[in-house]
Structures are given as structure tokens and as C-alpha cells.
Structure 1
């Protein structure tokens, strides 16, 4: 389980997921993070201050810890920008997720790790949901260079869900096509550094995006059209909303819609 808050960690454990099978990457450290670590939860520190707090709590104990790195680029399913803002872009200078990569390579993070006697076991990067496959590959190879900084690193988590073709003109990511170069990069790393890394991925909605459909019924029709202008719209109100599918409201995501009228003849409207 990849958890984003202490509450998600607790829910997962309540459902029977072993603590050692849970990884936590959160914008804020839970107040009970020390207890979670002692239970076996793997924590990825997502900022320098988080790493300092973690180090103060487990100073000179060789406690294992993960480091989430902002690799300097990002890619979201609704933006072609690698550095600008997008609601699903969580990498680059416009994102606060993870420790900025320059603090990893300039010695700042290694110095904190050494000061508190910690053991970095995981590097975690996440550039966005529905990211561009080419940018994901680029980030994967860059992330391996972060793994080379500590010989204690045993796994690399390459976060970010894969594109799913929900509409006729959209292409679903070919996992073999994007994964083969990354697998080769892992093999090259093993040859160069004498150790194999475990690759962790976060498929996101890839597994379930097209696994079902939301069936709703039109309940009302409202018009704001005026006889004196071309402004206004006709709204069809349904018995479902963002409580059932949040993505359009939250991300501006586009989902295919099909009308099934009483005549039995269906019509795709977008």
C-alpha cells in the first residue's frame, strides 16, 4: 500500500495489511510517525524538515528511511508542460512534493543522513498522474543516479499512474514499450554498482479505469438561453455528480458520455 497520510496507514492496517507492506509519503509527518515506524511502516521523507525530524527521533540507530525526490520535471495527464502547473503534475519547480533534487546532489541531504546515522533504503520519485511516457522514462533513469549516492538503497519507487485511453482518440500506455528501456537501465545500474535494485511502480487508475460505467438518469432540464442573444446554455441535470465521479470537477478530466434514450437507440455525445 502506498499511503499519503497517517489516516490511510491506519485504515490499511485495520483492513489487515501488514505494517511492513505499507509505504508512507505525506506532505506532513503524522504526529505518531515514530510509533508507525516501530510497527514496521516504511516512511519516505518528503522535505528536508521531515528528514530532520525523522533523524532527531531516530538519531544514531541506523534506522532505515526513504527519501522522496522532486526530480525537477513533472508531467500530468492534462498538461504537456514538464515544469509548469497542472493539477496532476507533481514534479518540477511548481510542485512542493519531495525534496528538490539539487539538495540531494549538492550534499545537503547526505549530510543530514550522516549526521543522524540513518540508512537510506529507498528513493521515491513521482512526477504526476497520467504522465507522458517519455518523461517518465527520463525521470526513471535520472532517479537511478540518486540511488547511486547511497550504497544502502535497495529499491526505487517510480510513482505516477499510466495514461489510460478513456476516449476513442486517446492512446493507452504500452507498458512493455515504456518499461523495456527502464528495465535495461536497472540492469546497467546493477552491472555498474554491483547490486540489483527492486523497482516499485504505482499503476494508479490503469488497473480499473475502464472496469465499469456509471449509469445515471436525467432528472431535470434547465435553460439559461435568451431570445435576445446567443448566450446561455441548456443544462441536463442527472441523479449523480462529483460524489460519484470526482475527476472531472477536480482535474478537468474528460469522460465519454453515452445517451441511452427510451427508444433504445444510443448516442455518443463526448
Structure 2
């Protein structure tokens, strides 16, 4: 646990309950190796509630108003709000494509999904994957690392880092991108998530495995496919709710930072 009062006289005492709350939330995220994406989204929401309380403190506002820190944090917060908004859009598109395929299978009352149904679904998945790849490529220039020994800024930049990692994991899971050639067409695990297991769980990946349907699966039994799609839909709904709550928290954090700039 960082010693916050050792480097900045304007920073509140380390024993302050708001600081302890933020530190505890950060510790949970650091140790979230086996935690699901949905749990991490909830942890981020709680973390930002603490961050917002922290920013309301006069001593913190005084520290943030010094130098160019507030502008750097505002730039990062805008990128995170945009990324979360994009994630919500992709979740919505994913849910719609799953529900459309489910409806088509039920409407046709066939033993297997039609080639047209699967082709339409695959086209939708390719569109989503393209959106994800483009957004992640644009984030390569995101500077979420602290270049100062100020503890407050280090804390806020670490929060940015966790936001970015969890949102990236959500996007990768939803994209259906598969970089392992020896896995089946139902696999959703990717090179990114395999290397960053701290921000996703095997169970979530398994629940979303049906997203990666390929044309070769058009002869799959419709009951089995519906079961897999329904499982994915339930997980998507949970992720959607988590993203919605996080989005509101990110916007609130940005408003708090703007208020510091305006005073």
C-alpha cells in the first residue's frame, strides 16, 4: 500500500477512509486473476465511485490543479468514455445478431439452421470483429502510465490502466477473434485473453463460445445451437449491464475532473 502523505503535503492522510476504499478496490483488481469480466466491470464501477469521492476533496482538487495533470487526466477520461461507449454499441450489435439467429431458427422450425441464417450471422460477426480490431489498433497510443512520483496521479493513472485492460478484454471476448488454429469453430479464446488472464475467466469464454459460429456449422442440430446461443445471450446481458453502470461512472469521473478545471 502506497504511502500517500510521504510525497505530497497537500494529499490527505493515508488513513482517510476514501483513500483506503480506493486502495482496496485497486488491490482487488490487481489480484483478480481468476475473476470474471463481469466481476471486474463491477469492481471498476465501485473503484470510480471512490475516485469521484476522492476528487471532491479540496486538497485533491488543489493537487490536480497544479501543472498539466488535469489536462492529461481529461484526455484519458475522454478516450475511456469513448471506448466504453463503443463497447456498449458492440454488445448491442452482438445481442441483436444472436437474437436474430435464434428467432430465425425457431421461425423455420427446422432440425438445422438454414445456410442463409448462418451466413447472415457470420457476416454480422465479421463486421463486429472489424470494429473491435480497428478500435484496439487506435488505442495503441493510449498513455495510461504515470510519469511522475506523485501518488495521487499514480493512483488515477493505474485506474485508467485497469479500465483499459478490462474494456479490451470485453471487446476481444465479444469479437469472436480466434488466433489458435487448433481450436474448434466454437472457441472464443484469443491470443490477447490468453496472455491477459487476469481480466477474463474461462467460464465467460465458454458461455460466449457460440458467438464464433462459422458457415461449416450450418448442419449443427438446431436445439444444440439454440442452447448455446441462449447461454451466450445471458452472458451478453450481464456484460451489457456491467458496461452501462461503468459508462455512467466514467462520465461522472470526467464531469468531476472538468469541475476541477473550471474552478
TM-score tier, shorter chain, comes to under 0.3
TM-score by length of 1: 0.27
Pick the structure with greater CA Rg. 1
Bigger proportion of residues as strand: 1
TM-score by length of 2: 0.27
Q: Which has the higher contact order (CA 8 A, sep 6+)?
A: 2
